[in-house]
Structure 1
Amino acid sequence: MSNSEVRTVGVIGTGVMGSEVALVLAQSGMDVVAVDTTAEALDRARHAIEQGLRFQRMQLMRSGKAATVVLDRAAILDRITFTTDLADVAGVDFVIENVTEDWSIKRPVFEALDSLCKPDVIFAVNTSVIPITRVGGVTGRPDRVIGAHFMNPVSLKPMVEVIKGYHTSDETVQAMLGLLAAIGKEGVVVADSPGFVSNRVLMLTINEAAFLVQERVADATEVDRIFKGCFGHTMGPLETADLIGLDTILLSIEGLHDSFGDSKYRPCPLLTQLVDAGLHGRKSGRGFYDYR
């Protein structure tokens, strides 16, 4: 399916990443079917999208662009259908999946999508570490399964890591790049490997930064100050971890450890402890930093 034929996109999973993806798609004029398992999750997603629109309006007002760029909140929200019924994606033209980094949860989602969606619909997997080839293997359309690793916050990140699985066709790659271009994003295509490029490097960095805090070499603020001041990073690794979600970080590191069997990917015990304590970062109010 060419990008010109994509009018409606199914967004599966409406957490931090899914709600951002839904917002960007709707702002680009596409209709969105946003699916999650509970009404409460969908309510949180709607609230997050409304908050995102308010933040954008504030930024435009501060930059003096409010008169030339109009954010029509009602029209954007009207383009998004919130539902707990996965069958509502049966008529979509494209799917972007954003459920948690747990293969036991992702697998049945794709098996169900494969039976529900039209045969030519492309499945984009928004994953941090799970191999795209593995996802394609549980569907009857492995040539139409591709990785689309969006970065958080999606609305502010101009680039997306695109991952070509073993069976992913060139046509699927081009369709993915076309969809990204339509929402103002550039795609960089890489080969399939656990963690791909971004998270194979980032997760090691975050994990090692957590070890530094655990070993009292430096506290979280000092670690992040060094990365921002010495390397010019906008955010330090532990601030980034809190933004992504420490539970997601831990699942990603565990996934890399399982995939490679290499001790360098062993999760930091402090990271595990924070997750066990429910301190998942910004979304829970506390992680390496306190946001309460």
Structure 2
Amino acid sequence: MYKYTTASFASSRRLGAARSALGRGALYSSEASAIKRVAVVGGGQMGAGIAQVSATYEHGVTLIDVNHEALDRGHAYMAKSLARVAKKKFPEEPAVAHDWVEAVLGRVRRTTSLPEGVANADLVVEAVVENIAVKQKLFADIAGAAPGHCLLASNTSSLPIGRIAEPLDAPTRGRTLGLHFFNPVPQMKLVEVVRAAETSEQAVGRAVAFVKSIGKAPAVCKDTPGFIVNRLLLPYMMEAIRLLERGVADARDIDTAMKLGAGYPMGPFELCDYVGLDTLKFITDGWFKEGDGLRGDKAFAASGKLDELVAAGHLGVKSGRGFYDYSKK
């Protein structure tokens, strides 16, 4: 078994109009290549978020995890998130807001059976633990059960798409790519569309069209460590930690400087705590040891302060303490 964690009524017409306005791309807008049915593997916050936005834009969605408890948590996350959206969307119409939420949730089917969940999918997105062996096994199983036209996508933020696709045959590798959503998925506009060496142009085009169809903005990039955002962001975060270690300034002043001096919405230490210090350490350690073109790069060398916090279980917002203490908030 895999460890997968880590309406219509008046509003539907508005959603349909929004989808038309976004456009799907002239080359890949035919019925044959359009993505209508989406399977999401992993019922955690990322997977549930991807399922939510897909269903919001009227795609049929299947959410897959190994147990019903994980699926129930994913459903609860979607219901809470959609309720917030509905309150803003229909502030004076609580009954309409309720019906809209129920309609979106009604497009999401839940199952613990991977073969059943992907059997009719046009796109499968995995959002499971960041472990290359787990992902390779999962993708091989998906490829054996999904239709021949189905796109296989990983939401990984740090693992090479090419390595994930290694166990697959050549035609399937041509349909495999990265769709890197950002957390929280319902609010974050960007999706990195990651093209591996063997990913076909048609697969990229279909993926770009899908991203636009759910109200997101695609950025296409090659399969390199960190893709675009994390490749630029992680050296910045690590250098901020080294400034702290050298006593240049404290965390609060560094955050204030970057927010007010550079116009960033969050300072580097706020961002580290939000991302998770264990996640930051996992990625940078991996890049330093075996990242393509990054092996031994001092920008990703171990940080004593980061190692100390992770060893103490101070992982950031999710644990209540990281560079800052969130337990009193």
TM-score using structure 1 length: 0.89
Which of residues 295, 300, 303 is equivalent to 1:268? 303
Match of 1:122 in 2: 151
Q: Which runs of 4+ in 1 moved over 6 A?
A: 64-67
Question: Paired residue for 1:279?
Answer: 314
Distance in 2, matches of 1:286 and 1:51, equals 25
Residue identity opposite 1:153 in structure 2: P
Query: Structure 2: which amino acid aligns with 1:261?
Result: R
Is 1:76 paired with 2:76? no
Report 1:1-292 matches (<5 A). 4=31, 5-60=34-89, 70=97, 72-87=100-115, 88-140=117-169, 141-257=172-288, 258-259=290-291, 260-262=294-296, 263-292=298-327
Distance 1:199 1:149 in 2: 11
Residues 1:189 and 1:216: Cα distance change in structure 2 (over 3 Å): same
Q: CA deviation at 1:60?
A: 4.3
Judge conservation of contact 2:180–2:193 (CA < 8 Å) in 1: yes
The residue identity in structure 2 corresponding to 1:124 is: A
Q: Is the 8 A contact 2:87 2:97 kept in 1?
A: no
Q: Partner of 2:186: helix, strand, or coil?
A: helix
In structure 2, do the counterparts of structure 1 residues 136 and 157 end up closer, same or farther at CA, with 3 Å as the change threshold? Answer: same
**Using the alignment, how far apart are the partners of 1:236 and 1:3 within structure 2?**
44
Q: 2:239·2:299 contact (CA, 8 Å) conserved in 1?
A: no
Give the conservation status (yes or no) of the 8 Å contact 1:25–1:183: yes
Answer with 174-183 or 184-193: which moved more: 184-193
Moved more, 100-109 or 183-192: 100-109
Maintained 8 Å contact 2:37/2:123:
yes
How many residues are aligned here?
A: 289
* Secondary structure at the counterpart of residue 73 of structure 1: helix
Gaps of 5+ in 1: none
Alpha carbons 1:14, 1:35 under 8 Å: kept: yes
Asked if structure 2 preserves the Cα contact closer than 8 Å seen for 1:10 and 1:89, the reply is yes
2:84 & 2:314 partners in 1: Cα distance? 25
Q: Secondary structure at the match of 1:154?
A: coil
1:3 shift after superposition = 7.3
Is the Cα contact below 8 Å between 1:285 and 1:291 reproduced in 2?
Answer: yes
2:287 alignment partner, SS class: helix
Structure 2: gaps (5+ residues)? 1-27
Shift of 1:70: 4.7
Largest Rg, 1 or 2 = 2
Change in Cα spacing, 1:269 to 1:42, as seen in structure 2 (3 Å) is: farther
Tell me the C-alpha RMSD between the 2 structures: 2.4
Residue type at the aligned position of 1:290: D
The Cα offsets for residues 70-92 of structure 1, whole Å up to 9 and x where unpaired, read as 57111111222233332222222
Name the aligned partner's letter for residue 155 of structure 2: N
Distance across 2 between alignment mates of 1:200 and 1:156: 22
Instruction: Name the SS for the 1:156 alignment partner.
Output: coil
SS at match of 2:234: helix
SS at match of 1:91: coil
- Cα offset, 1:245, TM superposition: 2.6
Structure 2 CA distance for aligned equivalents of residues 29 and 113 of structure 1: 23
SS across alignment from 1:195: coil
Aligned identity (percent) is 35
